[in-house]
Amino acid sequence: MRSSKYSIFTYASMIGVPALLMLILIAMISGYEMYINLFAYVLVIALLVFSTTGLIDVFLHKKYDGSMKKAHVESEIKSNTEPMLKKGSEVDIIVKRFNGSSHNFDKVTYKFFANKFTTVLDALLGIKSHQDSTLAVRCNCRMGICGSCGMVINGRPRLACETNIMEIADSEGGRIEISPMMGHLLLKDTVTEFTDFFERHKSVKPSLYRKNAKEKYSTTKEYQQSSEELDKFLPYSYCIMCGLCLDACPVVNSNPNFIGPQALSQSFRYYRDSRDQKGKRRLFEVDSNEGVWGCEFSGSCSKACPKGVDPATAIQLMKGELISRIAEKDDYAEKK
Ligand code: SF4
Ligand code: FES
């Protein structure tokens, strides 16, 4: 328990001064001049003593309070972090390693001490630094922005830098099993090849199309957009090209010609952008079995997406738009 912040003098002054004033008042009313003088002297002396001790008290209290605050914050930090660190434990991390020469994986189990904050990427980098330097891991931003650390963790495609070990160890049976994304070509261990993924992405021409191409490079012109117009495509522009949706898609894995959820969601993103002048041609370009009609709406792409892009919905909306434009489609085919 903390002791009282002021000394006894300060508290005494709170009672003593009003009491003396009362006595002076009573003496005045009763006509005792001698007592009035006596009380007045005592009052002046008491005021001097109390105000001096009060000032010292306040000064001391400020100093005391400042140092106490610091000590209090330090002890709070200590008591908050120590149990967290103590909560950590050794976790078995099983990595299905691809050695580059065959599709036979070597299952290697590493032991790693993880605490409350450890991500799968931290663990893999820790293992690479201190246990096995031959383990291949790809990463860059370590904060869910660059999209380069996608892998399959406990059977689900996820970003390693955004997957907390203790959380999945608690909820998914205490083990961490890591393998590369099988929807992409494998390079080594957890690292996959992305050339095919970027080709799919490029096939939908994911950039603003303007009839007058030169104006895009003008330094004085700007395209204005209302917030309602922005809202129409904004969620689809959050794609970080991590490839997790492609890996999760059962259709891509059985029909490699299907361009996949990432490319289609980006086609939709530009179709919805009021600054883009390609209009419905974007729709007709994906009006095929390799395009939107290849999607069987399993929804696993949207479930896997770490940025909430929701490619499954984008594809269904494109299907709806195409159905409502069947007549225009014939015109487009003729002009083509
Ligand atoms: S749509 Fe989502 S899961 Fe697919 S590549 Fe983009 S960010 Fe990754
Ligand atoms: S390291 Fe960049 S998204 Fe994981």
**What pLDDT sits at residue 265?**
98
Instruction: Compute CA 191 distance to the chain's CA centroid, rounded to the nearest angstrom.
Output: 23
C-alpha 209/C-alpha 300 separation (Å) is 30
C-alpha 163/C-alpha 152 separation (Å) is 11
Q: What distance in angstroms lies between residue 179's CA and the mean position of ligand 1's atoms?
A: 19
Give the mean model confidence (pLDDT) for residues 88-92: 89
Give the mean model confidence (pLDDT) for residues 6-16: 67
The CATH H-level (homologous superfamily) assignment of domain 194-335 is Alpha-helical ferredoxin (1.10.1060.10)
Give per-residue pLDDT as tens, 137-188: 999 999 999 999 999 999 999 999 999 999 998 888 788 999 999 889 999 9
Which amino acid is located at 305 in the chain? C
Give per-residue pLDDT as tens, 310-331: 999 999 999 999 999 887 777 7
Same CATH fold, 194-335 and 89-192? no
Q: CA dihedral in degrees (208, 209, 214, 220; nearest 10)?
A: -40
C-alpha 184/C-alpha 24 separation (Å) is 96
- Decide: 136 and 106 in contact? Cβ < 8 Å: no
CB 245 less than 6 A from any atom of ligand 1: yes
Give per-residue pLDDT as tens, 115-128: 999 999 999 999 99
Per-domain residue ranges of the chain = 8-86, 89-192, 194-335
Assign 44 a pLDDT band (cuts: 50, 70, 90).
confident
**What pLDDT sits at residue 2?**
43
Q: What distance in angstroms lies between residue 240's CA and the mean position of ligand 1's atoms?
A: 6
CB 305 less than 6 A from any atom of ligand 1: yes
Assigned CATH class of 89-192: alpha beta
Residue 193, pLDDT above cutoff 90:
yes
DSSP three-state, residue 260: coil
Give the mean model confidence (pLDDT) for residues 56-78: 58
Residue 275, pLDDT above cutoff 70:
yes
Give the mean model confidence (pLDDT) for residues 53-81: 58
C-alpha 327/C-alpha 333 separation (Å) is 10
Q: Ligand 1 test: best mutation among 246, 251, 262, 300, most atoms within 8 Å of CB?
A: 262
Assign 74 a pLDDT band (cuts: 50, 70, 90).
low
Which amino acid is located at 303 in the chain? K
Q: Residue 258: name the closest of 216, 298, 213 by CA.
A: 298
Q: Which atom of ligand 1 is nearest to the CA of 241?
A: 5
Q: Residue 283: name the closest of 239, 317, 256, 258 by CA.
A: 317
Q: DSSP labels for 307-327?
A: T---HHHHHHHHHHHHHTTHH
Give the mean model confidence (pLDDT) for residues 12-37: 74
Query: Which residue's CA is the nearest one to ligand 2's atom 1?
Result: 142
Assign 216 a pLDDT band (cuts: 50, 70, 90).
confident
Average of per-residue pLDDT values in the chain: 86
- Decide: 20 and 36 in contact? Cβ < 8 Å: no
**What pLDDT sits at residue 334?**
64
- Decide: 160 and 149 in contact? Cβ < 8 Å: yes
Query: What are the two backbone dihedrals, phi and then psi, of residue 221, each rounded to the nearest 5 degrees?
Result: -95, 145
Give the mean model confidence (pLDDT) for residues 242-269: 95
Residue 257, pLDDT above cutoff 70:
yes
Whether the CA torsion 245, 250, 251, 254 is positive or negative: it is positive
CB 305 less than 6 A from any atom of ligand 2: no
Tokens of 164: 């907390």
- List helix spans (H) across 131-206: 165-171, 195-203
Angle at 70 between CA 68 and CA 73, to 5 degrees: 105
CB 159 less than 6 A from any atom of ligand 2: yes
- The ligand minimizing its distance to the Cα of 121 is 2
